[in-house]
């Protein structure tokens, strides 16, 4: 029989405090984008002026001119289109790309020598970097084709990104510092849009179906290393993995697009389960599939007061994943509203228990979480006496879950002494917190001992246990009944402690065998039976 010593530490604490989520109705219109720092939401309520929202100002109009708001920088510079009275076609002001700063619109130039084709078709600005000094979009050619382009703030002229497929192209999003641009490029008599990024060289990003290579990029993380969009279904792309599905089962949806991704990997967008009944979704790292945003808000976040609302699009997300822009419809209304969803600003990983159990001088750690969010996992750390903390292993977390989750880890045989253990909970974005410390004392082994193997009889494996009270040269050998050695399991110097050694006899025939341990002046032999 094995000796069992258990030292139990019961605790209940939250590694990171949890705060309440909130959904705010900003008013009429649709969301264009959320700034990377989460301070601004920009949107459109065409033909009215675009709007800008922040906690400090609430909702305000972007100027007084008819226009569209597509993106916003961390310092509140809005880009989109506006009616420019200084540029007309047939006496009608042209809707042109521009940026709004210092309480006025500034127009971007088109291709030199190419005037607007009409009052709508000239230039379009769709994205701005976080620093607010580079804008991307598209411009019209005289042959009624469009080309991806970029501008600087202040405007120093247009930069063209080309039409790799010889037809149309468009730039939608840009990385923080402006070096990565993503959008689409089309092929005449082929797919009108293919997923592309520029650095500034063009790069085709692939498609899910090689016979139908349609695709478009709609969002990226801060440095542009992760790009999301749609290729019939939502995709996430990195240079290492290529294009990957976001949804687990594409047969459930006609189509969809991922419209934004945070730096900690939270994706938002929409899918069409059929009949153009678009549904906004969220997917958090660790989840096996997307979740409709309406269900996540009510079931997981406990947000009430929006019963009956229809939330077709999750249009953008902040870099930290805490702010999501949503376009929704009140019950019975055909007019869209812009909404801001604020998620918990911290990562709650709440532990209900953390235990240390000593079993045959092996320390077994067990812990249980009540909730997890963005939990990459736990780093197991041990300290002996006044020594520095030592990293033993890493146990993967369950991402985000509201269900109790149980974990365990076994620290192999330990010599006598006092040991301390702690958990380092690590979030997907690298942030971390430490648990409380649990301590345990491993008592010294007071005598040499060779235990009966278990199980016995066995087929084909069994475990042989022995203890030694001091550092010794140990030899553990298996013999048949005529004294021939059939296996040498241990032949080395070991510290004082208890040890378990597995013996696999799959290459031996059934019968009686002997095993013997030699340690210092101690010698002991026992019998075991192999039955096949």
Q: C-alpha distances in angstroms, 393 versus 390, 408, 511? A: 9, 11, 40
Residues 437 and 453 in one domain: no
Mean pLDDT of 300-329: 94
Whether residues 39 and 65 share a domain: the answer is yes
Looking at the fold, whether 273 and 399 belong to one and the same domain comes out as no
Residue of higher predicted confidence among 79 and 430? 79
Same domain as 280, residue 264: yes
pLDDT score at 373: 80
The answer to whether residues 330 and 401 belong to one domain is no
Q: Quote the CA–CA distance of 264 and 257 in Å, as a whole number.
A: 19
- Reading the block at residue 304, the tokens are 């009430």
pLDDT value, residue 245 = 97
Distance CA 219, CA 181 (A): 10
The percentage of residues in the chain with a pLDDT greater than 70, rounded to a whole number, is 94
Strand partners, 377: 396, 426
Coil/strand/helix, residue 300: helix
The Cα 132–Cα 135 span in angstroms is 8
Q: Please report the pLDDT score of residue 445 as a whole number.
A: 64
Instruction: Give me 151's structure tokens.
Output: 């501008």
The pLDDT tens digits for 250-290 are 999 999 999 999 999 999 999 999 999 999 999 998 888 99
Host domain of residue 9: 4-15+347-442
- Give the SS3 label for residue 9: coil
- Pair (84, 192) in one structural domain: yes
Q: Using omega within 30 degrees of 0 as the cis cutoff, is the peptide bond preceding 200 cis?
A: yes
For the chain, how many structural domains are there in total? 3
Same domain, 164 and 258: yes
Q: State the CATH number of the domain containing residue 421.
A: 2.60.40.10
**11 and 150 together in one domain:** no
**Worst-scoring range by mean pLDDT, 198-202, 414-418, 468-472, 488-492?**
414-418
Same domain for 481 and 461, yes or no, is yes
The answer, yes or no, to whether residue 8 has pLDDT greater than 80, is no
Which CATH number belongs to the domain containing residue 62 in this structure? 2.130.10.10
pLDDT, average across residues 144-171? 96
Last residue of a domain, one of 388, 411, 442: 442
Asked whether the beta carbons of 315 and 326 are under 8 A apart, the reply is yes
Asked if 267 contacts 283 with a C-beta cutoff of 8 angstroms, the reply is yes
pLDDT at residue 412, rounded to an integer: 77
Residues 437 and 485 in one domain: no
**Residues 25-76 pLDDT 10s:** 999 999 999 999 999 999 999 999 999 999 999 999 999 999 999 999 999 9
Q: Are 2 and 15 in contact (CB under 8 A)?
A: no
CA 266 to chain centre: 5
Closest by CA to 338, choosing from 60, 44, 73, is: 44
Contacts of 202 (CB under 8 A, 6+ apart): 161, 162, 164, 185, 196
Based on the domain organization, do 231 and 361 belong to the same domain? no
User: Does 319 lie in the same domain as 354?
Assistant: no
pLDDT in tens, 140-155: 999 999 999 999 999 8
Residue that is last in its domain, among 422, 442, 462? 442
State the average pLDDT over residues 431-446.
Answer: 80
SS (H, E, C) 355-396: EEEEECCEEEEEEEEEEEEEEEEEEEEEEECCCCCEEEEEEE
Measured in degrees and rounded to the nearest 5, phi and psi for residue 299 equal -80, -40
Please say which residue of 442, 469, 504 terminates a domain.
442
Give the pLDDT of residue 9. 35
Q: What is the pLDDT of residues 92-120, one digit of tens each?
A: 999 999 999 999 999 999 999 999 999 99
Give burial (CB, 10 Å; 0-12/13-18/19+) of 352.
middle
CATH for 506: 2.60.40.1930
């Amino acid at each position: 029989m094995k000796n069992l010593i258990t030292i139990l530490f019961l605790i209940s604490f939250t590694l990171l405090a949890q705060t309440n989520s909130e959904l705010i109705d900003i008013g009429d219109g649709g969301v264009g984008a959320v700034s990377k720092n989460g301070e601004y939401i920009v949107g459109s309520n065409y033909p009215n002026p675009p709007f800008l929202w922040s906690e400090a100002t609430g909702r305000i109009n972007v100027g007084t001119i008819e226009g569209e708001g597509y993106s916003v920088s961390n310092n509140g510079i809005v880009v989109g289109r506006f009616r420019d009275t200084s540029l007309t076609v047939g006496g009608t002001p042209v809707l042109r790309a521009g940026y709004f700063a210092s309480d006025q619109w500034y127009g971007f130039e088109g291709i030199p020598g190419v005037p607007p084709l009409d009052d709508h078709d000239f230039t379009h600005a769709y994205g701005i970097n976080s620093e607010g000094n580079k804008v991307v979009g598209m411009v019209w050619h005289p042959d009624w084709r469009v080309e991806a382009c970029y501008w600087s703030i202040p405007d120093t002229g247009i930069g063209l990104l080309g039409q790799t497929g010889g037809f149309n192209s468009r730039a939608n999003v840009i990385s923080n510092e402006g070096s990565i641009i993503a959008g689409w490029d089309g092929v005449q008599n082929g797919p009108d849009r293919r997923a592309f990024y520029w650095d500034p060289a063009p790069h085709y990003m692939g498609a899910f179906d090689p016979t139908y290579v349609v695709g478009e990029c709609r969002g990226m993380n801060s440095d542009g290393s992760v790009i999301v969009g749609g290729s019939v279904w939502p995709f996430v792309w990195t240079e290492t993995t290529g294009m990957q599905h976001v949804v687990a089962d594409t047969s459930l949806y006609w189509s969809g697009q991922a419209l934004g991704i945070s730096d900690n990997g939270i994706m938002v967008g929409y899918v069409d389960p059929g009949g153009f009944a678009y549904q906004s979704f969220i997917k958090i790292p660790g989840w096996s599939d997307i979740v409709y945003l309406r269900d996540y808000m009510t079931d997981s976040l406990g947000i009430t007061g929006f019963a009956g609302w229809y939330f077709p699009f999750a249009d953008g997300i902040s870099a930290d994943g805490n702010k999501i822009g949503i376009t929704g419809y009140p019950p019975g209304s055909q007019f869209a509203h812009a909404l801001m969803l604020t998620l918990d600003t911290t990562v709650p990983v709440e532990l209900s228990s953390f235990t240390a159990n000593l079993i045959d001088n092996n320390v077994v750690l067990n812990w249980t979480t009540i909730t997890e969010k963005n939990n990459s996992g736990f780093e197991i750390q041990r300290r002996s006496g006044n020594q520095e903390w030592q990293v033993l292993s890493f146990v993967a977390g369950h991402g985000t879950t509201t269900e109790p989750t149980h974990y365990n880890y076994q620290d192999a045989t330990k010599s006598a002494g006092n040991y301390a253990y702690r958990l380092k909970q690590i979030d997907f974005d690298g942030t971390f917190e430490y648990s409380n410390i649990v301590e345990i004392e491993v008592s010294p082994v007071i005598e040499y001992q060779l235990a009966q193997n278990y199980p016995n009889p066995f087929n084909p494996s069994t475990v042989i246990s022995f203890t030694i009270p001091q550092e010794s040269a140990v030899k553990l050998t298996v013999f048949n009944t005529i004294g021939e050695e059939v296996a040498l399991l241990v032949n080395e110097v070991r510290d004082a402690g208890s040890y378990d050694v597995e013996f696999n006899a799959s290459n031996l025939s059934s019968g009686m065998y002997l095993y013997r341990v030699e340690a210092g002046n101690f010698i002991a032999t026992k019998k075991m039976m192999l039955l096949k």
